[in-house]
Amino acid sequence: MSIYIAALISFILGLLGYIIIRFWILPIGRYSRIKRRLASDIGALLDMLQADRPQNNEGAHIQDRGVSVRRHCSDLISIYQGELPYWYRLYLESRKERPLEASKFSMRLANTRKPEHALRQVNEIKRLLRIKRSVFLSRP
């Protein structure tokens, strides 16, 4: 009889573990990973835009980085709206992290070519996503 109770308890614990990992931990990890990639791409794009004289082939790199920013932003919004648990979205809201508003600025950033305009949009994205990374430091 005690073997059946132990089997039932282990089954319930396994089921709860699966639910927590599948529906909480994995989506939160994906959100964080995409957010880091977005921050990295924005920093690289800003570095390219602030270069004194872009080379002829660097225009293609800037365009590719802009496409990457758009894709990561789209992925971030998709995860935020569709996969993140409600309680985590409330947590992000309490921290004043607003990915939906940040997506507007990241889409503008992807099409910006002037460093001073890009810097303004980067600062807004940084504020709205609460990114505290050194990739956003601009050169004097």
Structure tokens at 104: 């507007």
Residue 101 has pLDDT above 70, yes or no: yes
The identity of residue 139, as a single letter, is R
51-63 per-position pLDDT tens digit: 755 554 566 777 7
Q: What is the DSSP annotation of 13-34?
A: HHHHHHHHIIIIIHHHHHHHHH
- Residue 79's pLDDT is 96
In this prediction, residues 37-65 reach a mean pLDDT of: 73
Burial pattern 2-41, b for ≥16 Cβ within 10 A else e, equals eeeeeeeeeeeeeeeeeeeeeeeeebbebbeebbebbbeb
Burial pattern 110-129, b for ≥16 Cβ within 10 A else e, equals bebeebeebbebbebbbebb
**Nearest CA-CA partner of 32 in 133, 134, 138, 101:** 133
Q: Domains of the chain: which residue ranges?
A: 20-133
Residue bearing the bigger pLDDT, 62 or 73: 73
Which SS3 state, helix, strand or coil, does residue 131 take? Answer: coil
Residue bearing the bigger pLDDT, 57 or 30: 30
Residue bearing the bigger pLDDT, 41 or 82: 82
* Helices 115-129, 26-50: inter-axial angle, 10-degree rounding: 160
Structure tokens at 34: 């995409």
Total-model pTM: 0.81
Confidence band of 134 (pLDDT split at 50, 70, 90): low
